[in-house]
Structure 1
Amino acid sequence: MNSRRLCAAALAAGLAIAVPSLAAAQAPPPPKTAFRPPRTADGHPDLQGVWTNAAVTRLERNPRYGPNLVLTDAEARRIEAKTQAQIDLGNKPTDPNAKVTDLPADCSGGRGVDCNYNAAWTDPGSVVMRVNGQPRNGFITSTADGRVPMRKDIKVSPFGRSLQPGQSPSDNPETRALGERCLLSFGNSSGPVMLPGLYNNTYQVVQTRDQVVIDVEMVHDARIIRLDATQHLPASLRPWMGDSIGHWEGDTLVVETTNFHPEQVFRGASAHLKVTERLTLVGKDRLHYAFWVEDQTVFSQPWGGEYEFARSKGPVYEYACHEGNYGLVGILQGAREEERTGVKTAPTNVDQKARPASDGEGGEG
């Protein structure tokens, strides 16, 4: 065999190996349900109401349970019991003689000065997320290990975006995270992809013939999904939460979002990010949510997953973000003091504030 044929054979073999891995990256299949959803006046399923995605389960699987997507019932009960014990501890009256290191806090069930809130002030959820009754170890279904398939050459800033060389997150308010500036939710509550966070995991869906609006409790974000459009905005227009266009496929609302704001970064992706969401009522009080994420400049392959919203009682309360809040002022004052004295204090990492309170059982948010 000459060298040209040898190269061709090697290339074909390489493609044969590569194709299965690419084929494995598939969006979650439509949920199997016999539920007949109520209809709006225009005949489409009525998704309206208040919903919550609060859960101890997180986007990526907890390696403590290996690559398994589905937990055993015993594992789920143990996680929920441990979470409830932490909640009960946080709800107890605080000993007036207690030190900071004695208080239950939100850093993976630990205690100490580097944690942010006393656990009593957080509400990340107390149950394992279930899909079709199955307790889940994570939301991602498209990868074997349930992790985000990042390209090896991509480094993701803990603040969600890259700073300029020599720039510090505490230089000024504009270099702090969007949630601290009350511009967008902590973590990725507002979406897309909509993910549970530290607290305020409540969403209200309002639906008309031409639009669906999702009011996100965290930092009072309102996502507007246009049903009367087929083309996205010009590339120069990039609103917060991107430009969302929706349509109905049977009883499923399909939403495609592009044109993300340059400061809104999801797992390192922004400018070329495309997220497709599918919302399907699978029960009177259960709303199946599937997502598919694409950006070849950041991810090694498209990826996605699923979870279920649960219907929530009561209204969505106003999120008063900065009224009486001295956190951002304190962060900047602390940075100026470090510059004056040259003495470094405990690091201020916004991901701790954005990270949901849990004992680590539910994986990484």
Structure 2
Amino acid sequence: MQIPIPALMNDDYDFQITQQPDRVIIRYEKMDVVRIVWLEGHGHPKPGAYDYTIQGHSIGRYEGPRLVVETTKFTPDSRGFNSNRFIPATAMKKVTETYWREGDVLKMQTVSVDPLVLKQPFRWDYEYSDRKEELTPYDCDPEDSRFGAQFHKSIYPPDN
């Protein structure tokens, strides 16, 4: 199962940002996640009333040299804000990401809100260095993903 933003950004895997005329594409090594950020003023497919996804629907704009991305329409998720703190998120989650460069460093700030589970906005600040390497395919093996489950005692009675 994919890890949603903003937790995905805190992972040790690389990511790549590609600019196109009407969108920004963010590719993550982790689980081969691809996000499309539709740029304001260029027209984009409007999400339907039921078009909720684990990564949400992202709209971006430039404020000077900074890219600001607002993402809504997330599916509810028990790991919705941070995959190791287990802070859940509802469909009301909204994440605002701001990206900018300072020399060779890409800086990013995320601010997450969800009025049903957070008393105040949850903020992270990140710094990334340019690795100048191609992303490595994730190549998740479904059998490997079950490995950890075999060590947990089932809460369900055996089928006899």
How many angstroms apart in 2 are the aligned matches of 1:235 and 1:213? 23
Amino acid at match of 2:93: L
Corresponding residue SS for 1:219: helix
Report Cα offsets for 1:119-163 as digits up to 9, x if no partner: xxxxxxxxxxxxxxxxxxxxxxxxxxxxxxxxxxxxxxxxxxxxx
Amino acid at match of 1:195: M
For these two proteins, the number of residue pairs brought into alignment is: 151
Amino acid at match of 1:275: V
Q: Report the alpha carbon displacement of residue 336 of structure 1 after superposing the two structures with TM.
A: 5.5
Please give the root-mean-square deviation of Cα atoms over the aligned residues, in Å: 2.8
8 Å Cα contact 2:90-2:116 kept in structure 1? no
8 Å Cα contact 1:230-1:245 kept in structure 2? no
Report Cα offsets for 1:306-325 as digits up to 9, x if no partner: 121111132101110116x3
How many angstroms apart in 2 are the aligned matches of 1:304 and 1:236? 28
Report Cα offsets for 1:101-120 as digits up to 9, x if no partner: xxxxxxxxxxxxxxxxxxxx
8 Å Cα contact 1:235-1:259 kept in structure 2? no
2:25 pairs with one of 198, 213, 220: 213
Q: Which residue in 2 is equivalent to 1:242?
A: 56
Q: Report the alpha carbon displacement of residue 234 of structure 1 after superposing the two structures with TM.
A: 3.4
Q: Does 1:282 align with 2:102?
A: yes
8 Å Cα contact 2:7-2:80 kept in structure 1? no
Q: Report the alpha carbon displacement of residue 270 of structure 1 after superposing the two structures with TM.
A: 2.4
Relative contact order: is structure 1 or structure 2 higher (C-alpha 8 Å, sep ≥ 6)? Answer: 1
How many angstroms apart in 2 are the aligned matches of 1:279 and 1:252? 6
How many angstroms apart in 1 are the aligned matches of 2:107 and 2:33? 21
Cα 1:289–1:276 change in 2 (3 A) is: same
Cα 1:205–1:318 change in 2 (3 A) is: same
After superposition, residues 1-365 of structure 1 pair within 5 angstroms as 178=1, 184-185=2-3, 191-192=5-6, 194-197=8-11, 199=12, 201-227=13-39, 228-229=42-43, 233-263=47-77, 265-266=80-81, 267-283=87-103, 285-322=104-141, 325-328=143-146, 331=149, 335=153, 339-340=157-158
TM-score under structure 2 length normalisation: 0.80
Corresponding residue SS for 2:58: strand
8 Å Cα contact 2:47-2:57 kept in structure 1? yes
Amino acid at match of 2:88: G
Cα 1:334–1:254 change in 2 (3 A) is: closer
Q: Which runs of 5 or more structure 2 residues have no equivalent in the other structure? A: 82-86
How many angstroms apart in 2 are the aligned matches of 1:215 and 1:225? 11
Q: Report the alpha carbon displacement of residue 232 of structure 1 after superposing the two structures with TM.
A: 5.8
Report the identity percentage: 30
Write 1 or 2 for the structure with the bigger share of strand: 2
Cα 1:210–1:299 change in 2 (3 A) is: same
Cα 1:296–1:251 change in 2 (3 A) is: same
8 Å Cα contact 1:232-1:245 kept in structure 2? no
Report Cα offsets for 1:69-108 as digits up to 9, x if no partner: xxxxxxxxxxxxxxxxxxxxxxxxxxxxxxxxxxxxxxxx
8 Å Cα contact 2:31-2:138 kept in structure 1? yes
8 Å Cα contact 2:76-2:89 kept in structure 1? no
Cα 1:292–1:333 change in 2 (3 A) is: closer
How many angstroms apart in 2 are the aligned matches of 1:334 and 1:303? 32
How many angstroms apart in 2 are the aligned matches of 1:294 and 1:315? 33
How many angstroms apart in 1 are the aligned matches of 2:124 and 2:148? 38
| Higher Rg | 1
Corresponding residue SS for 2:146: helix
